[in-house]
């Protein structure tokens, strides 16, 4: 029979899904391996999606999304990041992952290199490989609190480098890139004429530090702007299954964006768009409640880790803790998480799901019930 394309055959296993699906098969398992918000959706959001169906408003929308939703995304970004952004630069996408595929397909030709964080979210590498591009990992080291260093990144740039991928707040680390560092990263991209893709899925959840988008430092000179910003409502409002987000593009790319959007997904389902509009423009109780829940869970789990002597990164954003279990993982944290699930009934995401620097570390999701979190973290072996 005909063979699949080589780049598809070589897509690696997603270790997050691997451990999570194994946990789902175990009755009563404590699943701390996946970032799924645990709160019920706000009723006004559900109602807006249902009302769209009741109106039978189920035809195509414009490629870029309904105008009111594009403006709502733009208004939120203007408010939080203090940048001049018109709705014409906002494209509604079928979740952040589709948005990342969308922008990478625009920027990367076969053989081009994209700089991605290590540790970093696994689909950064997976998506670029599917587009025949080459992911090149830049290191985020524990001794630097997993903050990017300009010299480390600059040393990896070659004539084939086209894109710098940024993610703040970070999945899996919970790290937030500092403002001065973010400015320097944009300056680096300007010096080497690189595009920037900024994954800001967790922008609503930072703790005592600001979220700073690289879009703040992007040029407003025509032809010089270089930052694409990926946004989503999956985490902010718990809309993971509605698949709704936005991609903010530099100026003067509207016609090209429409053409590419048409070829990938045409447009996003209208009920999801109206639900998203209600989320962005209605009461924000869900976001406020979720933020405080994640902060409380972070503090409670951190206290247990500290009492056990287990090193961890103090999360400044997102809803994950990054903990060092190298004292028990034996140099193979992926195998250790499977064995720990079998023996204790608790699932953590292995750090190697996010890159080689993740060896010996685990990602702990903070988004579920606090008692489950404390039970699961409490079963970790203490460090002698």
What are the Cα distances from residue 180, in Å, to 162, 168, 201, 211, 364?
Answer: 23, 14, 21, 12, 28
Assess if residue 383 is contained within a domain: no
The contacts of residue 155 (CB under 8 Å, 6+ apart) are: none
Range of the domain at 368: 6-41+285-378
Mean pLDDT of the chain: 95
| Domain shared by 27 and 49, yes or no | no
- CATH code for the domain of 361: 3.90.1150.10
Residue 304 lies in a domain: yes
- Residue 3 is predicted with a pLDDT of 85
Pairwise CA distance, residues 326 & 361, whole Å: 7
Q: What is the pLDDT of residue 161?
A: 98
pTM over 0.85: yes
Interhelix angle 285-308/370-378, nearest 10 degrees: 20
Q: Are residues 186 and 250 in the same domain?
A: yes
Nearest to 176 by CA among 204, 195, 196: 204
Whether the CB-CB separation of 210 and 178 falls below 8 Å is answered with no
- 110 and 147 housed in the same domain: yes
Residue-level pLDDT at 50: 97
For range 111-120, the mean pLDDT: 98
Q: Say how many Å lie between the first and final Cα of the chain, rounded.
A: 56
Q: By the 8 A CB rule, do 261 and 272 touch?
A: no
Residue 154 shares a structural domain with residue 243 = yes
Length of the chain (residues):
384
Full strand arrangement of the beta sheet holding 312-313: 30-32, 346-350, 361-365, 320-324, 312-313
Close Cβ partners of 302 (under 8 Å, ≥ 6 residues apart): 312, 314, 315, 321
How far is 259 from 99, CA to CA, in rounded Å? 14
CATH number at residue 86: 3.40.640.10
Same-domain check for residues 276 and 236: yes
Q: What is the mean pLDDT of residues 88-102?
A: 96
Do 208 and 180 have their domain in common?
yes
Extended beta strands in 107-179, E state = 113-118, 134-139, 161-167
Q: What is the DSSP letter of 164?
A: E
**Strand ordering across the sheet containing 227-232:** 90-93, 245-248, 227-232, 195-199, 161-167, 113-118, 134-139
The count of domains in the chain is 2
Task: Look at residues 230, 258, 281 and tell me which one is the last residue of a structural domain.
Answer: 281
pLDDT of residue 7: 80
pLDDT tens sequence across 323-332:
999 999 999 9
pLDDT of residue 89: 95
For the segment 212-231, what is each residue's pLDDT rounded down to a tens digit? 999 999 987 778 999 999 99
């Amino acid at each position: 029979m005909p063979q699949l394309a080589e780049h598809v055959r070589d897509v690696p296993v997603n270790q997050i899904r691997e451990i999570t699906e194994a946990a789902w098969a175990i009755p009563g398992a404590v699943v701390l391996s996946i970032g799924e918000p645990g709160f019920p959706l706000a009723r006004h959001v559900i109602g807006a999606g249902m009302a769209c169906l009741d109106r039978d408003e189920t035809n195509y929308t414009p490629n870029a999304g309904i105008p009111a939703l594009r403006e709502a995304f733009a208004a939120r970004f203007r408010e939080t990041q203090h940048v001049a952004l018109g709705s014409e630069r906002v494209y509604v996408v079928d979740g952040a992952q589709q948005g990342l595929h969308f922008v990478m397909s625009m920027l990367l030709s076969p053989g081009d290199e994209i700089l991605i964080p290590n540790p970093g979210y696994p689909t950064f590498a997976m998506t670029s490989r599917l587009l025949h591009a080459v992911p090149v990992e830049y290191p985020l080291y524990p001794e630097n609190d997993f903050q990017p260093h300009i010299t480390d990144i600059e040393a990896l740039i070659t004539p084939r480098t086209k894109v710098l991928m940024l993610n703040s707040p970070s999945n899996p680390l919970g790290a937030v890139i500092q403002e001065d560092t973010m400015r320097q990263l944009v300056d680096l991209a300007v010096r080497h004429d690189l595009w920037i893709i900024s994954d800001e899925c967790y922008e609503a959840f930072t703790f005592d530090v600001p979220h700073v988008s690289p879009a703040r430092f992007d040029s407003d000179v025509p032809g010089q702007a270089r930052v694409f910003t990926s946004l989503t409502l999956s985490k902010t409002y718990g809309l993971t299954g509605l698949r709704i987000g936005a991609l903010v593009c530099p100026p003067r790319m509207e016609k090209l964006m429409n053409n590419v959007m048409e070829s990938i997904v045409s447009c996003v389902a209208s009920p999801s768009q109206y639900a998203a509009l209600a989320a962005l423009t209605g009461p924000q109780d869900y976001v406020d409640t979720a933020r405080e829940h994640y902060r409380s869970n972070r503090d409670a789990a951190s206290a247990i880790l500290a009492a056990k002597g287990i090193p961890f990164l103090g999360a400044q954003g997102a809803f994950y803790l990054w903990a060092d279990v190298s004292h028990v993982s034996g140099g193979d944290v992926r195998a250790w998480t499977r064995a720990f699930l079998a023996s204790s009934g608790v699932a953590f995401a292995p750090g190697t799901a996010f890159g080689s620097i993740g060896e010996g570390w685990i990602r702990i999701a903070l988004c579920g019930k606090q008692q489950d979190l404390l039970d699961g973290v409490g079963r970790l072996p203490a460090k002698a």
